[in-house]
Amino acid sequence: MTGPALSVDQPDASIAVGAIVRAIFIRLPRILFVTLILCAIAFAVLTFMPRLYESQAGLLVAPRTTPFTRATNDTTTSAIIDAATVASQIELITSRETILAAAEAVGLRDEPEFAGLSDAELVKQVRDNLDVGQERESRLITVSFLAESPQLAADMANAIAEAHIARLVDQEIEDTTGATLWLEREIDELRETVLEAERRVAEFRVENDLFVGQNNTSIVDQQLSNIATQITATAERRNAAQSRADLIRRMLADGQSVVGISDVQNSPVVQRLVEERATLQGQRAQQSATLLSNHPTIRALDAQIAEIDQQIASEGRRVAEALEAQAEIEADLETSLRADLEDLKVSAGTATRDGVTLAELEREAAAQRELLNAFLLRYSEAAARTDADSALPDVRFVSAAAPSETPASPRTTLILMVVGMVSVVLQVGAVIFSELLSGRALVERTEPDTVTATPQPAPRVVDAGGENDNDVEEDADAPEGQGARRLAPIDVEIESLAARVLAGTTRRIAIATLDHWRDSADFAEQLTARIVENGQSVAEVDAASGRQGVELGLSDLCAGEADFGDIVHTGHDERFAFVPWGQAARLARHPARGETLVEALSDIYEAVVVVTGTVGMASALPMFAQAGGCCILLARDAASAQRARHEIEALGFEPVHVVVASEFKSRVA
């Protein structure tokens, strides 16, 4: 291990603060005089500098569409305004076209400070005086302009904002006009397409006799329905006639009277015969009152009545024959209708196949017609939005710039205060440096500082080569006063590391141990305290304790539950920062996050000390190996320390310093 060795005979000196204060007090009149002279010179220079006035206008980036201004088929509730949209608006505001339009509106070329400039020079000078930015994380954009005239600054800020809005309106109108022209061309082409599609439908319908009747039904289908209905009716009539004829014949065969059957009753002959039989039956009834049944008159009447019954039966048979003839006629008609039905089925099959093609043609024509209607609606809406009043860009003027009464530059009071403070600080620093360099502010201590500590075995420091550093080993037989002045090897290692940090040769330090993790934590506390005493900043990372706390720490970062800014905690002294273990019980080892954390802390602090704890499977050393830096290995056994040193070097730490001692104790007050 390399580092300065402190001799027991080296005198100890301290800074005499009183001497420095007296030197400053003696030179105080000169300091004040020089400060006044510098402030006067600065005031004189500022007096001749031109006064610049700043005015600020505000623009709000927000959707301006309403249900009454949107297109009919536009169901969008609002546009998405994000950070990229606001940044794009800022770039458009500072663009060349916006600046030239604003300059033309204000007449900027007539102003003395902008007269005679070309377009490129004018744009460059306006940009130098123009400041466009976003207010924090809002959608508000401020447009600020500096000019020698307060009115010009206000007019230019307002003109740039108005030119930006007008440009957005022109772009929106231009887009709408372009869309209108495109829709007009598409509509002309669609009209021809629709006419051609509908013409094909009509021609196909005529060529294939696919005419449509009532209820939007084809004639073939209507004919099929009618013939089917006629066949059903014919079959019903045939069955009814045949059934009535069979009934009459069955009743005649059984010797029953058929007068009660409606078809027989409807016959005029039967009606006349029934009347004659009734008359004869009446006469017989009259004669039966005076004559016996064997009387010739009664027999004659019975014979006449029997004759009439035979005539009625004969007429019933004739009616049955008529019904059978009607049934045959209906059967023939049914046969004819069924033949016609078969023919129509053939025609209907052809019509059905042709109907598929017709339906396809009709769908195509309908789709073209719907597209044409949609384009006509969009064209009407687009044509109604081609004037400037119909455009509503997503940027609105929320605050106009007003002429400023106080100049924005130069800030005389602030500049004079800075000049005075810098003058005083530099002169006081020069006085202190002069006193220290001359030695007048240094006094030699008469009594050595003593360190009260419990006697303990002297530790040994082993460098990267593995050899003992005997030059700094504490002399156990030395007198009490001299023994207190001699630094222990562990203190020498701390002083050496602090010196290398002060020199800038070492910035990242990992501390590991072969025994208890507390040894590495105690060493880290002593080292960070010494670095802070040297006036440098240091960050300490706890990757070994495993103690869960209420503050976010390294374990939360590795678990993805905290950001880098959430785990770095500072105390009263801003030169010291601490990254605790965190709230999680386990440490997920992510080398990428460990490397990123160390690199981020190295950019902020002059030294980063990582406590990795006990070397082994649970060690956090591999997590920080990619970050590089040196490693301090604390051990109580030199042999085991050498084996562990080779393993640590294999991880990528360079160099690796081994400190061997029988016991490590915290020396931080």
pLDDT, tens digit, 9 for 90 and up, residues 158-205? 999 999 988 888 888 888 888 888 888 888 888 888 888 888 888 777
d(Cα 466, Cα 659) in Å, to the nearest integer? Answer: 10
For the chain, the farthest-separated pair of C-alpha atoms sits apart, in whole angstroms, at 191
Identify the pLDDT of residue 72.
Answer: 58
- Sequence-separated (6 or more) residues with CB below 8 Å from residue 371: 190
SS3 call for 14? strand
Q: Is residue 484 scored above 90 in pLDDT?
A: no
SS3 call for 95? coil
Identify the pLDDT of residue 324.
Answer: 83
Contact 298, 287 (CB under 8 A): yes
User: CB atoms < 10 A from the CB of 253, how many?
Assistant: 8
Identify the pLDDT of residue 371.
Answer: 86
d(Cα 206, Cα 434) in Å, to the nearest integer? Answer: 116
Who has greater pLDDT, 513 or 271?
Answer: 513
* Average of per-residue pLDDT across 13-33: 82
* Average of per-residue pLDDT across 276-284: 78
Q: String of b and e for 128-154 (b: at least 16 CB within 10 Å)?
A: ebbebebeeeebbbbbbbbbebbebbb
**CA-angle at 490, arms to 486 and 494, nearest 5°:** 100
SS3 call for 117? coil
Q: Is residue 2 scored above 50 in pLDDT?
A: no
SS3 call for 108? helix
Identify the pLDDT of residue 424.
Answer: 92
Beta bridge partners of 132: 143
Who has greater pLDDT, 230 or 267?
Answer: 230
Q: Is residue 516 scored above 60 in pLDDT?
A: yes
pTM over 0.85: no
Contact 541, 608 (CB under 8 A): yes
Q: Would you give the DSSP letter of residue 5?
A: P
Tens digit of each residue's pLDDT (9 = 90 or more) over 612-632: 888 877 788 888 888 888 999
* Average of per-residue pLDDT across 382-389: 65
Contact 512, 625 (CB under 8 A): no
Residue 36 host element (H or E): helix 28-48
Q: Among 241-250, 321-330, 422-431, which range has the highest average pLDDT?
A: 422-431
Tens digit of each residue's pLDDT (9 = 90 or more) over 423-480: 999 999 988 888 777 666 666 554 443 333 333 333 444 444 444 443 333 343 444 4
Contact 628, 508 (CB under 8 A): yes
End-to-end CA distance of the chain: 26
Q: Thinking of the domain 53-170+391-399, which architecture would CATH place it in?
A: 2-Layer Sandwich (3.30)
Q: Residues for the chain: how many in total?
A: 669
Among candidates 15, 120, 6, which has minimal Cα distance to 435?
15
Q: Is residue 268 scored above 60 in pLDDT?
A: yes
The tokens of 648 are what? 């640590």
Domain ranges of the chain: 14-49+410-444, 53-170+391-399, 216-383, 460-660
- Sequence-separated (6 or more) residues with CB below 8 Å from residue 358: 201, 204, 205, 208, 210
Long-range contacts of the stretch 258-266 (C-beta < 8 A, 24+): 258/312, 258/313, 258/316, 258/319, 259/312, 261/316, 261/319, 263/319, 263/323, 264/312, 264/315, 264/316, 264/319
d(Cα 260, Cα 593) in Å, to the nearest integer? Answer: 113
Identify the pLDDT of residue 203.
Answer: 79
Identify the pLDDT of residue 347.
Answer: 66
Q: What is the mean pLDDT of the chain?
A: 78
d(Cα 86, Cα 360) in Å, to the nearest integer? Answer: 51
Question: What CATH number has the domain spanning 460-660?
Answer: 3.40.50.300
Identify the pLDDT of residue 480.
Answer: 41
Q: Is residue 10 scored above 50 in pLDDT?
A: no
Q: Is residue 8 scored above 50 in pLDDT?
A: no
Helices 96-106 + 119-129 axis angle, to 10? 90
Helices 150-207 + 96-106 axis angle, to 10? 120
Contact 489, 461 (CB under 8 A): yes
DSSP string spanning 355-388? HHHHHHHHHHHHHHHHHHHHHHHHHHHHHTT-SG
SS3 call for 140? strand
DSSP string spanning 452-508? -----PPPEEE-TT--B-GGG---TTS-HHHHHHSPPHHHHHHHHHHHHHHHTS--E
Tens digit of each residue's pLDDT (9 = 90 or more) over 88-99: 889 999 999 999
Q: Is residue 663 scored above 60 in pLDDT?
A: no
Who has greater pLDDT, 327 or 33?
Answer: 33
d(Cα 195, Cα 205) in Å, to the nearest integer? Answer: 15
Helices and strands in the chain: count of H runs, count of E runs:
18, 14
Among candidates 156, 145, 138, 141, which has minimal Cα distance to 89?
141
Identify the pLDDT of residue 509.
Answer: 92
* Average of per-residue pLDDT across 12-23: 74
Among candidates 95, 98, 112, which has minimal Cα distance to 152?
112
Q: Of the ranges 300-309, 454-463, 642-651, which one carries the lowest mean pLDDT score?
A: 454-463
Q: Is residue 422 scored above 70 in pLDDT?
A: yes
The tokens of 265 are what? 């009753």
Tens digit of each residue's pLDDT (9 = 90 or more) over 49-83: 888 888 999 999 887 665 555 555 555 545 566 78
Over 212-236, what HEC string results?
ECHHHCEHHHHHHHHHHHHHHHHHH
The tokens of 137 are what? 């994380």
